[in-house]
Every structure is written in structure tokens, then in C-alpha cells.
Amino acid sequence: MLFNSYEFLFVFLPITAIVFWLARIHISLRVAVGWLVLASLVFYAWWNPVYVPLLAGSALVNFQLGIWLADAQRWRLTLLRLGLVWNIGLLAYFKYTDFFLASLNTVAGTQIPLPHIVLPLALSFFTFQKIAYLIDVYRGEVTVRKLGDFLLFVTFFPQLITGPIVHYRDIVPQIGLTPAKGPRAEDIALGLTLFSVGLFKKVLLADGIGVQVNALYQLAGKGEALDLFQSWTMALSYTLQLYFDFSGYSDMATGLARLFGIRLPQNFDSPLKSANMLEFWRRWHMTLSRFLRDYVYFPLGGGRGGLASKCFNMTVTFMVSAIWHGAGWTFVWFGVYQSTVVVINMLWAELRAWLRWGERVWWDHGLAIALNFFVWTGGLVLFRSDSVATALSVWSGMAGLHGAQLPQHWQHALGGLGEHLQAAGVQFAAGSHLLQAQQLLRIALLAVLAFALPNIYAFTARFDPVIRHDKLEVKVPRFAWQPNLLWGLIIGAMALLAACSLSNVSEFLYFQF
């Protein structure tokens, strides 16, 4: 079931919330928790009920392993390793079997038939979630004795499908604090605000610009050479589509959780405003970055052992991140690309420190943000392409190796500049100039929204909309959100526009991971 669907908005969500609070007020917390677990399983089963036993069975195995880990005096490390093998083995079987066999057939010349295993929805997310849980139990940070609490931690529907990746201590303790007299008006207002903003991002911003992205990538995948302007239009459009799609999902997830009196961890903090790739990954998909830092980078040694060791550990961490995102050579090379950029950032920071260069001035910082944005855009070509050959073709187009073409009527509109462009090799040809102009306008509009405006968590910072693990200072805008009539009209209009645009329901981009 999708958040951006009529059955979710007008059937599943109101029934789930109303029954939860009625049970919490008139029966007991345990019954309310049980109802929320059941509703979350129905939410998951809506996609494919066949995989519900996998979700529930894996949860039961991890629950029992957690109890054994907490009680064991000996063999604790063996139990932890058994849990890691179980979780990683499930993920490897469903996600990487086809990729491994296809690669083996290519390298060894074998003809092993591919089983074409369907990847269960959200497997990548809840695998990392349960790995973190087992490690936390092993470290003595959490102990879970109630099956209902654990099942809620695993299946809670707002974060089940695409995150954020939560810890047990993030979610379950809050359930006991939900008011027995019913939901707080502030939670309902804030939850609906966060959800409406996320729905607006997804339906009207991400999906609006994504139509042209899909069309152009289909052409590139069929071997058609895209010119300079087509390639850059496609690459920039996808960068903004992915940002508003995934950040929109995260906004909706935090809003939905707040309707049940629960705060989720923040997953986005205006990452496109980052001045380097290290900062970017601290602000993009923040819960994934935190997981990789705490359970991959630090266990490898982190920054201990000198610069060379730090660069190696960072490279391994980014390769794990890339392969987690998808099974394919495009993701492997995306990991190589990202780790190379991050290592260059680290070496550059060391050089600046050695040269004793001071803080950046405003224009230097602005150039760094622009450069980082274009570096990220270039990397996402690999992330989006269906093959390495397609990515190389798109990069060639972005470099101008496939020529450059503009609508014919632009030649006269540009005047002398048009003549100079033609002399430089730019061709002016008849085409769908209206479609190109619309796409450029969308790119400009979304770029302004992403770079110029504060995010929704800054607007609502006074009401603690999310769990902020990094404790970063938040600059609250002058026109901050308040649960009043004016903001109600603004958010209501955004929700109405989004709801009226649900005729073409599309999945979230991160569903495929």
C-alpha cells in the first residue's frame, strides 16, 4: 500500500488511527499495540501477502536471538554471529542471487539459469534495523522481553517500507508515554502538516518532473545518444526528483508516526546545501549514514590508525552502502564513485589544515555547494541507469560528445548569442520546444525550493517534530509554523492539491532498494 493512494488516505489511515486511540483510551495499551502491529501487517500484505510470513518469521527469529543474547553468559559472540549470518543471508539470497549468477555466467562462460527471485518489499531496510538491534543487545544497550513491543518496532508501518532506519530505543519507549486520555491536538496538527508537505513533494514536485526523466532514460537505455542539453536536463531533473521523492516519503513517515504520538528520527536535513560529500551524507538519508558509521565504519577502526587507514575504512563503508542500495554493476561503480569523491574531500581537508587556510568566505562556500551538487548529479547517473553502458552514454552526452541541440525558434530569440552558439557547434532544430521549456522551468522552480527555503523541520522546530541525534543547531525561520488558522489554510491547500492529483499513483523511488 502506498502513502499516496486513495485507499491509504481515506480508508486505512483513518481506521487504523481511530481504532488505535479508542483501544488506548478505553481498553489498554497492550491492545492498542496489538492493533497497530496487525494493521502494519495488513499494510505490508497489501503489496504481496506471500511475504508476510517472511517478515513475521524473521522478526520472531531475531526476537528469540535477542533474548538468548541478553541471557547468555557464554557463546554470546557466537550467537551474535549466528544472527548476522541469518539476516545477511536472507538479504543476500533474495537480493543478490541473480546478480551473482549473472556475473558468474559472464566471467566463467557458464549458463546457469537465473531463478529471478522477487525481492520482498523493505527487506533491505528491516534487515539493517534488526542487525542494529542484535548488536545493541550484545552491547548491553537494550533488552526486550515483550514480543508485542518487538513486533511493533519491526513492523510499524510509517517506517516499514522505506525507513527511516530506527533503533528499538527510538520507538518502543515512546509507546508507553502515549496519553491515555487520547491524542494531543498539537500532535495531530503537526502530524498532518508533516504528512501533507511530504505528499505535496511526492505528488506535485517529484512525480511532475519525473515523467520527462523516465522518457529520456528509456531512450538512453535503448542506445539513443542524448545531446548536451538533453543529458543535463535529464540528470538535473533526476537529482531533484529523487530528492523530493525520498524526502517527501520521510516527511510523510514522520507525520504519520506523530499521529500515534511517536517521533521518528530525522532522515533529511537539506542535503543539497552541503559544501562537500562528507557533509552531504551526514544530511542525506541520515539514519542510513548513522547506521553505517556506527556498525561498519567504527568497527573497522574509524579514523584511528592514520589518514590511509581512515580512507580505507571510509571506502569500505561506502561500498557497503552502494551494494545495499542495489544488486548490479551500476551500484558497484556508484560505490567506487562516491568513495573516491569522499576520499578526495578528506585529502583536501587535510591539505587545507596543513596550509592553515581559514574559514571559507561566503562566495567560496557557495562555489563549494554548487560543485558538490554537480558532483552528486553526475554520480546519480550511475544510480539511475539500467547498465554501465547507459551511464557512460549519458556522461558522454553531458560532456558534449553527442553534440548539442536547441529548439529552432530559440535561435531568433537569442539574437547574437544564438549565432555564437551556432558557430560553436550548437544546432537549432524543430522539436517539442514547449516540453523543453516546461522541464527547464520545473528544474529552476525545484532548485529554488531546495536551495532557498528552509526545510519543514526548521519551520516546525519549536515543536520537536523529529528525534535529532546529531543535536545540530536549527535556525528557525521568522515565518515559523504554528498550529493556527493561517498555517492551517496553507497546509490544507497543499494537501487538497496533492489529493486531487492522485490519479496517476506512482511508487516511491526507494521502493526498489
How confident is the prediction for the chain on average, in pLDDT? 89
Q: Which amino acid is at 272?
A: L
Q: Does residue 267 have a pLDDT over 90?
A: yes
Mean pLDDT over 458-475 rounds to: 84
Q: Does residue 59 have a pLDDT over 90?
A: yes
* 285 in active site: no
Task: Give the CA angle between residues 292, 293, 294 to the nearest 5°.
Answer: 95
DSSP structural state of residue 513: -
pLDDT at residue 97, as a whole number: 93
Find the catalytic residue in 285, 325, 409, 420.
325
**Which contacts qualify for 350-356: CB closer than 8 Å, 24 or more apart?**
350/307
pLDDT at residue 471, as a whole number: 65
pLDDT at residue 61, as a whole number: 94
pLDDT at residue 188, as a whole number: 95
Mean pLDDT over 329-339 rounds to: 95
452: three-class secondary structure by DSSP: helix
What is the H or E stretch that residue 404 is in?
strand 404-407
Q: Does residue 284 have a pLDDT over 90?
A: yes
- When pLDDT is cut at 50, 70 and 90, the band that residue 118 belongs to is confident
Q: What is the pLDDT of residues 208-220, one digit of tens each?
A: 888 888 888 888 8
- Which residue did the predictor score with more confidence, 419 or 144? 144
Mean pLDDT over 98-104 rounds to: 91
- When pLDDT is cut at 50, 70 and 90, the band that residue 99 belongs to is very high
Residue 53's alpha-carbon distances to 35, 59, 116, 289, in angstroms, are 18, 10, 20, 29
pLDDT at residue 142, as a whole number: 85
Q: Does residue 361 have a pLDDT over 80?
A: no
Q: What is the pLDDT of residues 434-443, one digit of tens each?
A: 567 778 888 9
Q: Does residue 408 have a pLDDT over 60?
A: yes
Cell 532514460: give the residue.
217
Q: Using alpha carbons, select from 195, 61, 170, 51 the residue that is nearest to residue 122.
A: 51
How far apart are alpha carbons 408 and 429 in whole angstroms? 4
The grid coordinates of residue 319 equal 561500498
pLDDT at residue 143, as a whole number: 78
- Which residue did the predictor score with more confidence, 119 or 267? 267
Query: Ranked by mean pLDDT, which of 168-177, 287-296, 403-412, 438-447 comes out on top?
Result: 287-296
pLDDT at residue 432, as a whole number: 56
**Which contacts qualify for 12-19: CB closer than 8 Å, 24 or more apart?**
12/39, 12/42, 12/43, 13/256, 13/259, 15/39, 16/157, 17/259, 17/260
The grid coordinates of residue 395 equal 556522461
- When pLDDT is cut at 50, 70 and 90, the band that residue 365 belongs to is confident
465: three-class secondary structure by DSSP: coil
pLDDT at residue 31, as a whole number: 94
- When pLDDT is cut at 50, 70 and 90, the band that residue 277 belongs to is very high
**Which contacts qualify for 500-506: CB closer than 8 Å, 24 or more apart?**
501/203, 501/204, 501/207, 502/4, 502/5, 502/6, 502/9, 502/203, 504/207, 505/2, 505/4, 505/5, 506/4, 506/207, 506/210
